Amino acid sequence: MEKLHDSLLLQILSRLGDSADVACCRVASKSFNAVFPELRSINLRYTNIWSKDSSSMVTTSFKTVFLDLISKLRMVESVCIDVDVDPTDEDFAKEWLPKVSKSLKSLSLCFPPYDIPNVLPLISAYCKLNIFL
C-alpha cells in the first residue's frame, strides 16, 4: 500500500459505498489513514456491523463512528445517513451539523417511516439546503 500514490488511495476510499468500510480500511492501513482526511463525504448505512448489538448500542456505536469520521475530515460536502435506528435526535445533530454546515452540499437522512425527524429545523438553520420530504 505504501507504494501507491495518495490520489489512488483516495480514489479507492471514495468508491467504498459505506463509511464503515472506510473506517475499517483506516485501521488496517497507515496509508489509507493518512489520506482519509481528504475525503469529502460520509455515507453510513445500516449493515451487519451494527446489528450484532442491541438497538441502544447500535445507536451509540453508530454515533461514535459517525462523529469520529466527521471530526477527522477537512471538508465535508456530502452526508448520507441510512440506518434503521434513529440517528437524527437533536443533541446528536447539534454535535455534527455545525462542523459541516459551511461546506455541505448534499444531505440525505433515511430513517424508519414512523419517525418524523425533529432535526429539520436545525438543518434548515445551519445549512442552506433544499429540503425534500
Could you report the per-residue pLDDT of 54-111, keeping only the tens digit for each?
Answer: 555 556 677 888 888 899 999 999 998 886 655 556 788 888 888 888 898 888 887 6
DSSP letter string, 67-101: HHHHHH-S---EEEEE-SS----HHHHHHHHHHHT
Q: What is the pTM of this model?
A: 0.76
Q: Name the residue with cell 440517528.
A: 87
Q: What is the dihedral of CA 74, 78, 84, 90, to 10 degrees?
A: 70
Q: How far is CA 74 from CA 4, 40, 129, in A?
A: 22, 8, 20
- From the CB of residue 87, how many other CB atoms can be counted at a distance below 10 Å? 24
φ, ψ of residue 124 in degrees (nearest 5): -60, -40
